[in-house]
Amino acid sequence: MTLHQLSLDTPIGPLRLHATDDALVAVYLPGQEPPAPAPERPGHALLEQARAQLAEYFAGERRHFDLPLEPRGTPFQREVWSALRGIPFGATRSYAEMAAALGRPSASRAVGGANGRNPLSIVVPCHRVIGANGALTGYAGGIARKEWLLRHERASAAA
């Protein structure tokens, strides 16, 4: 399976988008390294669609992504990532709330582990998951980026 890459400058730094011919497989934040290099592919229809939707998101004009996704992970990870897509724009959920929603109330740590391995940052909104006490906990792009994304969504939702 051939992967293609497109880089995108954003308010939180450069993102690298990876896709097959049929689906977006990863959105890498600054500081994240992809497991394998992919050639830069301007003009790739799906990558251009993802670029446009992310630009709309950062402009405060998009709340949901409509892209074919193919995250690679275990069945449990994919279940968590699917549940993340159900967190409303501008809202947050705790790891415990996510575990309970999955019918596994004692699996908060496992949910946290799956959340931390989400390959589709922003598109699959793992930044919307916080600690039970409301604290911003780990994020692959760093807490400052997580905070920025949450502030951006709250401001866009209020507009």
Report whether 40 contacts 83 (CB < 8 A): no
Positive or negative torsion for Cα 41, 45, 46, 51: positive
89 flagged as catalytic: no
The sign of the dihedral angle between the CA atoms of 10, 143, 27, 85 is negative
Nearest-angstrom CA–CA distance, 27 and 109: 23
3-state SS of 28-84 is ECCCCCCCCCCCECCCCHHHHHHHHHHHHHHCCCCCCCCCCECCCCCHHHHHHHHHH
Question: Which of the residues 12, 111, 126, 130 is marked catalytic?
Answer: 126
Active site residues: 126
